[in-house]
């Protein structure tokens, strides 16, 4: 197992029913019409990916390839290896690490030459297949999550910049099944592919979390302490309940001071601060995912007053709930990014 060094993690062998980050990972950055391709390449080939996607999965099915993160060391890939890349930083996938890019993937999966010429049609080879040769020696399955939501973003911070699972250490039938189903047609096919992609992501993260010796983030370490773990279980299972430190302490059978001390030591923040962050992430996804009234979203995440909820939401996200739904936060993020890049 190889993982990038830009995010802190460590193996955690202790879990409690109800607090399973991998279950939340499956439920959070769930693929919905994910951009999924079978890629076939013959050397020389090199693709620079700068699509800013939050999560990409690359499973090598034939031949060899090289993954080169910006500013990082090359990582060779062999058949059966699975790579997870946590965005938005750009990277290169090529037959050789020193190969100059011949194609560039931009946001929206727009593909061009480095000079700006479109490669969408010339490089396409059938449904859900892309590459420079129909019978290329290198074969890959690539799945791109173009959005993961706020809960997904919160959980993806648990991942390093990239994770490589080696075929010699682990091989899942999910890769072969995804490869077989990618050519399928008919009702429900897109949904089936999304679910298979979700399952592959969770299986890889599960294997990684069980084998890595890098340090874990504080909120995941909480499961090492049985009291903090039980408190986390309650907060995740019933986020809308009007929790206080006192009521949470009674539920887990310790004093208020004892719970507060152990929760902060294990998770890195007080119980109610953690609960607020979790509620705000859930609320953001509810607002993005449909037209649920703000008052109902407020109730579903534990606020009896829409005004109180709106104030808390704006403090956390920088915009009102309705502004968030209209995409105003994305505009603020884009403007900030443009200022930094300018």
CATH of the domain at 329: 1.10.10.60
Helix (H) or strand (E) holding 92: strand 91-94
Q: Is 206 in the same domain as 280? A: no
Q: Which of the pair, 196 or 320, is modelled with greater confidence?
A: 320
Confidence band for 64, pLDDT divided at 50, 70 and 90: very high
Task: Name the residue with higher pLDDT: 41 or 209.
Answer: 41
Res 336: pLDDT:
45
Domain end, chosen from 190, 211, 232, is at 211
- Same domain as 239, residue 184: no
Q: What is the DSSP string of 20-78?
A: -HHHHHHHSS--SS-EEEEEEE-SS-EEEE----SEEEEEEEES-EEEEETTS--EEE-
CATH number for the domain harbouring residue 179:
2.60.120.280
Residue 60, Cβ density class (10 Å: 0-12 exposed, 13-18 middle, ≥19 buried): buried
Give the model confidence (pLDDT) of 10-58 as tens digits.
223 334 444 454 555 555 545 555 678 889 999 999 999 999 999 999 9
Residue 71 scores a pLDDT above 70: yes
Whether residue 81 is found in the same domain as residue 200: yes
| Block residue for tokens 């930083």 | 89
Q: Is the pLDDT of residue 218 over 60?
A: no
Residue 248: pLDDT band by 50, 70, 90 thresholds?
very high
Q: What percent of the chain has pLDDT over 70?
A: 79
Environment class of 2 (CB within 10 Å of its CB; exposed 0-12, middle 13-18, buried 19+)? middle
Residue 318: predicted pLDDT:
93
The pLDDT value given to residue 188: 73
Which has the closest alpha carbon to 238: 26, 247, 93, 141?
247
Residue 4 has pLDDT above 80, yes or no: no
Q: Which of 78, 61, 57, 93 is nearest to 168 (CA)?
A: 78
Does residue 193 or residue 334 have the better pLDDT? Answer: 193
List, for residues 306-320, the tens digit of each pLDDT value.
Answer: 999 999 999 999 999
CB–CB of 140/65 below 8 Å?
Answer: yes
128 and 46 belong to one structural domain: yes
| pLDDT class of 79 with cuts at 50, 70, 90 | very high
Q: Which residue has the higher pLDDT, 15 or 213?
A: 213
Is 195 in the same domain as 226?
A: no
Number of domains in the chain: 2
Q: How confident is the model at residue 219 (pLDDT cuts 50, 70, 90)?
A: low
Would the pLDDT of 61 be above 90? yes
**Average pLDDT score, the chain:** 82
Q: Grade residue 270 by pLDDT with cuts at 50, 70 and 90.
A: very high
Residue 183 three-state SS: coil
At residue 281, does pLDDT exceed 50?
yes
One domain, residues 144 and 227:
no
Reply yes or no on whether the pLDDT at 155 is more than 50: yes
Tell me the DSSP string of 256-291.
Answer: HHHHHHHHHHHHSS-HHHHHHHHHHHHHHHHHHSS-
For helices 271-288 and 245-252, angle between their N-to-C axes, nearest 10 degrees: 100
Domain that holds residue 203: 2-211
Predicted confidence at residue 311, as pLDDT, reads 95
Residue 27 and residue 49 in one domain: yes
Residue (of 241, 168, 160, 171) closest to 204 by Cα position: 171
User: Between helices 149-156 and 271-288, what is the axis angle to 10°?
Assistant: 130
Q: Pairing relation of β-strands 103-106 and 110-112?
A: antiparallel
pLDDT of residue 3: 53
Residues 9 and 156 in one domain: yes
SS3 12: coil
| φ/ψ (deg, to 5) at 53 | -65, 140
**pLDDT surpassing 50 at residue 6:** no
- Do 161 and 226 share a structural domain? no
> How confident is the model at residue 342, as a pLDDT?
42
The residue among 153, 176, 211 that closes a domain is 211
The Cα 199–Cα 194 span in angstroms is: 9
Residue 2 in this model has a pLDDT that exceeds 70: no
């Amino acid at each position: 197992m190889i993982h990038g060094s830009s995010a802190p993690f460590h193996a955690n062998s202790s879990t409690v029913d109800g607090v399973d980050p991998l279950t939340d990972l499956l439920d959070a950055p769930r693929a919905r019409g994910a951009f999924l391709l079978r890629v076939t390449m013959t050397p020389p080939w090199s693709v620079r990916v700068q699509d800013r996607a939050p999560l990409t999965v690359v499973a090598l099915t034939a031949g060899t390839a090289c993954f080169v993160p910006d500013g990082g060391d090359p990582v060779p890939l062999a058949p059966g290896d699975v790579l997870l890349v946590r965005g938005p930083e750009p990277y290169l996938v090529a037959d050789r690490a020193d190969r100059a890019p011949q194609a560039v993937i931009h946001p929206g999966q727009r593909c061009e030459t480095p000079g700006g010429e479109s490669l969408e049609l010339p490089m396409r080879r059938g449904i859900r297949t892309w590459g420079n040769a129909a019978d290329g020696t290198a074969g890959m399955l690539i799945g791109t999550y173009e959005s993961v939501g706020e809960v997904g973003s919160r959980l993806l911070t648990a991942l390093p910049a990239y994770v490589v699972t080696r075929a010699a250490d682990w091989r899942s039938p999910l890769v072969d099944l995804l490869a077989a189903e990618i050519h399928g047609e008919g009702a429900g096919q897109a949904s089936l592919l999304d679910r298979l992609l979700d399952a592959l992501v969770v299986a890889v993260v599960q294997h990684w979390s069980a084998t890595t010796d890098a340090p874990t983030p504080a909120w995941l370490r909480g499961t090492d302490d049985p009291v903090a773990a039980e408190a986390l279980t309650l907060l995740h299972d019933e986020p809308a309940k009007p929790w206080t430190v006192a009521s949470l302490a009674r539920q887990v059978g310790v004093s208020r001071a004892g719970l507060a001390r152990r929760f902060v030591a294990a998770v890195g923040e007080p119980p109610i601060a953690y609960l607020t962050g979790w509620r705000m992430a859930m609320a953001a996804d509810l607002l993005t995912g449909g037209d649920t009234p703000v008052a109902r979203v407020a109730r579903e995440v534990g606020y009896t007053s829409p005004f109180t909820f709106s104030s808390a939401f704006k403090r956390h996200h920088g915009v009102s709930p309705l502004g968030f739904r209209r995409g105003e936060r994305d505009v603020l993020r884009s403007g900030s990014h443009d200022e930094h890049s300018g």
